Structure formats: C-alpha cells, structure tokens
A and B are shown apart, each in its own frame.
Chain A
Amino acid sequence: MTSSLLFNTTTFAYLISMLLFFVFLASRNKAVGVAAMAAAYGGLLLQTIAIALRWKESYDIGVGHAPLSNLYESVVFFSWTIVLIYALLDIKYKYRVIGAFVMPFALLGMAWAQLGLNNGIEPLVPALQSNWLLYHVVTCFLGYAAFAVACGISIMYLIKAGHDEGGQTSGESSIMGMFPPIRVLDDLNYRAIMVGFPLLTIGIITGAAWANYAWGTYWSWDPKETWSLIVWFVYAAFLHARFTRGWVGKRAAWLSIIGFCATIFCYLGVNLFLSGLHSYGGGK
C-alpha cells in the first residue's frame, strides 16, 4: 500500500461524493444524501491515512519531513482541510446539502494535485528545516479552508437569494427547497469566517515569527506576506461591516467570495506569477 494509491482512491471518493451530492440536490432522496456524506467521510479518512503514510515514507527514504513542503503536498493538504472543516460544520449544524458546493473545491484540489503536479517526495531545502513549517502551514491552510467553505456557502446564498427574488417561492418541490433558508446561509457564512479569521491571524503571526527567527525580519513586504495581509484586510472589512453596519446577506456573500478569490491568489497566484520568499511552493 502506498500513499500515492491512497491519494488516487481519495480523489475518486471525492468525485463520487460530489456526484452523489448533485443527485441528492436533484432527487431530494435522503439515502443519496447519506451516501454522499459517507463518501466524503470515507475520502477524508483515506486521505488522513495517506498523508500519515507519506510522512512515514519520507522517513523511510531518509529525508523525513512533514508532507507540507511543496506545491503538490500543500494542494493535497488544502483539500484535506476543506473536507475537514466541512465535516465539522456538518456535525455541528447538519446542513448536508452544503457539500454540493464545498466538495467541488476539495475534488478540484485533489484532481489537480494527482494529475498535474509532481508528487515525488523531495528532501527539505535548508530554508524549510524548522518546526515553524508545521505550525505556519497548518494554521494558514485551516484558515484558507474555512474561507473556501464560506465561499461555497456564499455562492449558495446568492443562488438562493436570486431565486427567491425571481418570484418563485422556494417551495418543497424545487431544488431550492433543499437549500437551507437564506438567513441560515448568511449565518453559516459568518461562522465559517469566524473560524477562518483567527486561524489566518495566527498563520500570519507564525509566519512572521519564523521569518524573524530565520532571517531577522518579521515583515519584509514580500509578495506572499503582502497578499496574506490583503486577505486579512478583506475579512477584517467583512467583520467590521457586519458588526457595526449590519452588512449581511448579499453584500456579505460578495465580500466572502472576493475574500476567497484573494485567498486563492495569495496561495497560488503569488507562487505562480510573482517571485519572492515562498518560491519553494511554486510548481515545477
């Protein structure tokens, strides 16, 4: 059994899960919903084992390090955190159908990693040989994943709100009947960001602490640092607007989507289009 095989199985499980969620939306058959969720949980479990196995495999070939060191490993980890955050949301709030809008992000990540990225285990370059790698990457990606879930929920909100405005009441008969009420979606959007924002804050701070420890500067306006701050500003604006000006609903949903676009640019765009200190995260 290799981690590579398990990652492929995970990708397949997420594909099945996403398709079942779509069938669930269309058919409104509860059993299909349960099956979709089971596939997602199964995939999450497989992926957890696969990540642990890859970690072990890196020690077996003598270059032991946490599997968070290049673009392939980070995309796989991002995918894992998205499903993890979704699973926690499902356990707490039980709005299963959100999976139809969250699983595609996880599947996209896994499919890209498995098909398009170099999955070789490489030794750690000197710059990454630090425990800070684990703290920094884990907190950042948990934050990113919460923002991904918030973005999926916001897309649902906009679809549902647009549909409601269109005059059709979201009766039991339509697909829209499957969606949680827009007030609930708005609240879940906020709750996901409420989890993501502190994690991003800690992620930026651990990054600064590591930079200070390794280079002697906690902040050097490197493109990655700057973009993480841009993301932080967008969500800080979201929270201030919500708390004190009552920006809820559509405007909040759009801010959440813009925030996630900035997050994705911070994660991928900076590595692929701009140069800077995080070059080891770039594609090969």
Chain B
Amino acid sequence: MTTKQRGFLLSLWDLFCSLKLTMFVFISLALFSIIGTIIPQGTLPPEYLAQLSPAKLKLYRSLGLFDMYHSWWFILLLYLLTVNLVACSIKRLPHIWKIITCPRTVLDTGLEQSLTGVVSFSNPEEPEKIKERIAAILGVEFANPVVTEAEGAWHLFAQKNPWCRLSVYCVHLSVIIIFIGAIIGSLFGYKGSVNILEGESVSSVMSRSEEQIDLGFSVLCEKFSIAYYSTGAPREFKSILTVLENGKPVPNYEHVRVIVNDPLSYKGITFYQSSYGKTGNYHFTVSSLDGKGTVPLLVNSDSSVTLPDGSSMHVVEATEDISPYAQGLSGPAVQVEVHSPNGASEQFVVYANYPELNIQHAREHNGGAVIQYKGAELRMYTGLQVAKDPGVWIVWLGCFLMVIGVYAAFFMSHRRIWIRVKNGTVTVGGNASKNQASFLLFLDGLVDKLKTDLTKEKK
C-alpha cells in the first residue's frame, strides 16, 4: 500500500468516524423523509399520474420518488448511518472498555489533578486502622471499595454503574439489530391480501408485488358480519375463520373470531381483518316501452353487461331497503351506471317494488329500454391482510435494547470515588459521567460523614 492510499483510507476512516457525518445523515434523513409524506407513495391511481406534467412524471420516476423510502439513495443514507455508528463504536469502545474493566484504583497525583472538588482532612490515627473504618462507611454509603497499598499509602476505590458507559453503544447496536430484523422480514417474509367469500376457502394469497403465494393450508371464511352502534357508526367488523389442513379443520383453529385489532396466526402467517364487500349476481329484466320482448338480464357484481341498444351497464351500489335514501319508498333497489355507445354515461336507481318508476325513467330518457330489478343473490366476502414476518421478533429485541440503552444513557451515571489515606491525611475525590454537580453534593455529604464518624471512633 502506498502512502497516498493509506492517507486516503485514513481520511475515509476519519470521515466514517466523524460526528459531522452523523449530523449530515440525521438532517438529510429528516429533510428527505418529508418528500415522501407530500408525494403519494406506492401504486398510484391513474388520475393522479395524469395530472402531472410529463417532465415532472419522468423526474419523479427516475428519482424513485413514488417509492422513495426504498429508493437507492434513501437506502444509501441508511447504510451511511449504519457504517457511521459502527465506525464510531469501533473507535471509542476500546477506551470505554478499559475504563470499565481496568479502573484506576490508585489516587495518584495525576488523577488527583484531573478531578474537581478534591477534599483533604487530617486524621492522626494509624492509616491501617482507619482504612478499615473508611471502607466500611464507603460500603454502606456508596459501594464496596477495592483497597490497594501503593507508595506508602492506602488507596480505596469504589464505583457504581460502570456498565452504563456502554449504554450509548447499546443504542447503536439496537439500531443495527432493528435493521437486521427488517432485512430478514423483507427477504423471508411477505405482505399480501386475500378476499374470501362466505362459505368458501382459499389456499393462496396475492402478495403486494402481485405474486400468488401458496399458504400450504387453507382458510375457510364461515361468516362475515358488521355490528353497528346506535348512531349508525360501525362498531365491529368480524370474520369467523377456520384453518383447514388437507381439507380437515385444525383443532384450536376452528371458528376463530377475527376482528380489527385481533388477528389470527397460524404457522407464522397472520390474517388481519381489513375490508369486506358483497359479490354475486343481480337479476334484471329488459323490455321495450310497451312491455313487449321482455328478456332476463343477469349482471355480475364484478363486471358489466351489454344492453340490447349496445350500451353497457354495471351495478354501482345495492340495498335491501331504499327507505333511508328515498322518502316514501321501500324495498330493494340498485344504483346502476349505463354507458351509451355515443360516450354518454348516467347513473340512476332501478327499483324492485316500483315498476312504474322504472318505466317513467325509460320514458323520460328517449324512450329507451325499460329495466326492472328482480333481486340479487349476493354473498359477503371478507378482505384480509396477510403477513409473514420472521424478522419481527428481532425488531422487537432491537426496540427493547434501544429503550434500555436510551434510559441508561440519560438517567444512569458511572460514579467513582477515590480515597487516599497517607501520613494522617485523608484525601477524597470522585467523578460522575453525568450530572457531576449533584454528585459533588453527594461527595460533600460523604466527606462530612467520614469526618464525624472517624472522630467519634477516636473518642
């Protein structure tokens, strides 16, 4: 390796260890994240895309702004964050590790000068005797000390919470663990959805990337129902599901109630209540205005049919009872949409109980065909979100470590006290990794206690 190369690598290493990079990444992540909250993400309706100018559309597409949290540059920022916090930890950890595992137990001149608020008081007694007393007091008031003899003096060292110095690294590690969990989830898991008709079962689901995924078992929807509050607002969306293996119900997975906020899990795959709908056939008859040439017409809820005059019709909405929507009327009705061959389209209501209204509508509209509603055979279906995420427990582990680490980083302090007994003089010093001011107050109290207790003993 040439000097130049080494110089380059060193400066690269310095860059990765630098807090400037940390600040840059934090602020970039914060600022760029805003974009994705303003520009809609994911699969977008064509109407939205149509209103963008072609240049804008091209720019957004090339920068990946419609899926920006998975775009190469956003992922790169997350990689930079990871590299940065790993590098910082590698750089600083050995020093911190040494402080924790090999503490300085001797209060020498160098250490004494580095501490603030060192107090000395005289005590004429034999150092061998009072060091025991001090050790006992320190053990009660603070922590059991390590006692060493060096350079003709006795040194006592006691500490509390040395491990909390690792809390920052615990937080850094937790971020990496969360990332690992997320990567495992995206590699070995999937998110999908499935609609199941009442009384039917499915054995595969559609993933978000539009792939058919085989479950390895079947899920039967026995019933879907909605309960309402007295105000008319929905109170509960409920599916009753049964898991089938080779067509047979699995014990403990029969008639399981699945509602929003209470999913069903089987073999690592979880089913969440997410939507619902009706599907089936609507029955109509079509005739001319004078009532001749009546033919039945069947319209599937998912498709449209062609009427005798060449226009197409589909059902928009259906109800068992029209009375809440139209005063003085009752019984079944459907709202249909008709597209004429000339491009015009209209929506209107077709009634089951009021043939005269349907005739009147036909008469008012250029004497077109009369459509009568004859009822429907509809079935409810439940819409389920399906997720498999083997990485989720690793994410929770990371979150747990993060909370522990953040708590320790803010609210715990590594506190150390050194006491030297030499030639009738007792010297007390200490420091804390956090909240030094309140620690010095504690130290003052300790010194007072040492003074009074040691003189009491003497009398």
Contacts and interface: CB of A to CB of B under 8 A. Distances in A.
Contacts of B69: 221, 226
A216 B386 contact: yes
Contacts of A227: 33, 37
A58 interface: no
Given A197-B406, A217-B387, A236 B26 contact: yes
B403 A202 contact: yes
A197 B387 contact: no
A209 B396 contact: yes
A223 interface: yes
A63 B385 CA distance: 27
Contact of A126 (B260, B387, B389): B260
A194 B274 CA distance: 38
B395 A274 contact: no
Contacts of A268: none
B385 A127 contact: no
Contact of A221 (B26, B41, B236, B410): B41
Interface string B398-413: 0100110011001100
A161 interface: no
Interface centre among A212, A229, A245, A262 (most CB of B within 10 A): A212
A122 interface: yes
A89 interface: no
A120 B272 CA distance: 30
Contacts of A126: 234-237, 259-261
Contact of B407 (A198, A205, A213, A274): A198
Contacts of A122: 231, 233
A127 B234 CA distance: 10
A201 interface: yes
A237 B33 contact: no
Contact of B272 (A201, A208, A215, A226): A215
Interface residues of B, number: 44
A115 B29 CA distance: 38
Contacts of A198: 403, 406-407, 410
A163 interface: no
A216 B26 contact: no
B187 to A, nearest CB: 16
A138 interface: no
Contacts of A209: 396, 399
A41 interface: no
B261 A127 contact: yes
Give chain B's interface secondary structure class: helix
A240 B261 contact: no
Contacts of A36: none
B34 A230 contact: yes
Interface in A191-208: 194, 197-198, 201-202, 205, 208
A241 interface: yes
Interface centre among A194, A229, A230 (most CB of B within 10 A): A230
Nearest to A243: B168
Nearest to B261: A130
A74 to B, nearest CB: 19
B27 A237 contact: yes
A118 interface: no
Interface in B118-156: none
A216 B389 contact: yes
A156 to B, nearest CB: 21
B55 interface: no
B23 interface: yes
A216 B272 contact: yes
Contacts of B50: none
B236 A237 contact: no
A270 to B, nearest CB: 7
B23 A241 contact: yes
Nearest to A233: B30
Contacts of B38: 274
B22 interface: yes
B229 interface: yes
Interface in A138-156: none
B19 interface: yes
Contacts of A230: 29-30, 33-34
Contacts of B263: 213-214, 216
Contact of A123 (B33, B229, B385): B229
A240 B26 contact: yes
Nearest to B233: A123
A234 interface: yes
A279 to B, nearest CB: 14
Interface in A10-43: none
A195 to B, nearest CB: 8
A218 interface: yes
A78 B395 CA distance: 29
A5 interface: no
B37 A274 contact: yes
B226 to A, nearest CB: 9
Given A209-B396, A213-B263, A216-B191, A226 B402 contact: no
A119 interface: no
Contacts of A218: 392, 395
Interface of A: 63, 122-123, 125-127, 129-130, 132, 194, 197-198, 201-202, 205, 208-209, 212-219, 221, 223, 226-227, 229-230, 233-234, 236-237, 240-241, 244-245, 262, 270, 274
Given A202-B403, A216-B272, A233-B30, 17 more contacts: A123-B235, A198-B406, A198-B410, A201-B403, A201-B406, A208-B399, A213-B261, A216-B191, A216-B389, A217-B387, A218-B392, A230-B30, A233-B26, A237-B23, A240-B19, A240-B26, A274-B38
